[in-house]
Amino acid sequence: MKWITRERPKIDRIACPWLIRKFVDKDAEFIYVPYSQVLIKATELDAIPFDIPDVEYTHYQDQCTFDYIIRKYKIDDPAVSIIALIVRGADTDRHDLAAEAAGLWAISAGLAHNITDDHKLLETGMVLYDALYSWATHLYKQKHLQNSPFENLLHEVYSKFLKDKKTAGKTPAWVKDLKNLIQDQIDAQFTFDLKKISGELDLNPSYLSREFSKYFEDLNFGDYVRKQRIEKAINLIESTSYTLTEIAYMTGFSDQSHFNRIFKAQTGKNPSSYRKKIQKK
C-alpha cells in the first residue's frame, strides 16, 4: 500500500506511518509532497492520502488521524491506546491530555528542525515510536522524579487555593505578575517552564496550578494560553501582512493545520475567511 501526505512531518504524519507499518501493512510506502500536490499525486500514484482535510484518513472533531486509523483497523492494544492520547495531545496542542504530550511535541519538533530530508526524518521517527511503544508496554507505570509537563502539573493544582479561607474574595498579587509573565512568554513563542514561572512568582508549582482557573477567566492553563495565542493571531491578521502560515508559527502553533482548527474553534471562522472579512472593511 502507498500512503501520501504533506511534507515536513512532525507528529501525526510520523506517528501514523509507524502505526500502519506496525499493525496494518509492514511494507507500506509513505510519500511526502507539498500540500497542494497531495491529492493530485495520490491519484497519479494510487496512494491513500492522509492527515489533510476532506479525506477519509484525517482529524475528526477533537481526535487526530492516528485515532482514526486505530478505529478503522480495530487495533486493540493497551499500549497503542496509551500512545494515542500522547499523540493526540501533542498533535492537537492539548498537552493536558497526557503527561508525555509536551515532550513528544518538543522531541518531534527538534527532529524536524535537525533533519531536512522527510524520509530520513520518518525513519528516525520510527525509532522514536518503537521506543514509546516499549515504554507504554513495559514501563508505563514507572515514575522518574517530576516527569509531568508544566501544564499537567498546573491542572492538578487548580483548586487548592479556593479552599484557603484567609484569602477568600481577594485577588493575590501574583495573579497580575503571572498575567505579565504569560504575555511575555507568548511574545517569545510560548517557551513556558513551570519551575521558572513558579520561581519568578515565588510560588509552589502545585499551588499555582490549583489556583490558576479562579483568576484566569475560569479557564485551565492550556485553554487560557490557546485563547491568548488566538488573540495575538487576530491582532497580526488585522495589523500586518504576514502570511497565515507565518502567523501560525509566530503564535506558537506547530503548523497551519493546527492553527486553523484552534482559530475556528475560538472565533467560528477560518483564518483565511477572517482575513478576507477584514480586508473588505
Is 63 a residue whose pLDDT tops 80? yes
Is 75 a residue whose pLDDT tops 80? yes
Quote the DSSP letter at residue 20. H
Is 81 a residue whose pLDDT tops 50? yes
Spatial distance between the Cα atoms of 4 and 39, rounded to a whole number of angstroms: 8
Average pLDDT, the chain: 82
Query: Percent of the chain having pLDDT more than 90?
Result: 47
Determine how many CB atoms are found less than 10 A away from the CB of residue 88: 23
Quick one: 223-280 is in which CATH superfamily?
Homeodomain-like (1.10.10.60)
Q: pTM for this structure?
A: 0.55
* Range(s) of the chain covered by CATH 1.10.10.60: 223-280
| Per-residue model confidence (pLDDT) at position 189 | 43
φ/ψ of 166, rounded to 5, equals -65, -25
φ/ψ of 159, rounded to 5, equals -105, -5
Quote the DSSP letter at residue 165. G
Spatial distance between the Cα atoms of 208 and 155, rounded to a whole number of angstroms: 9
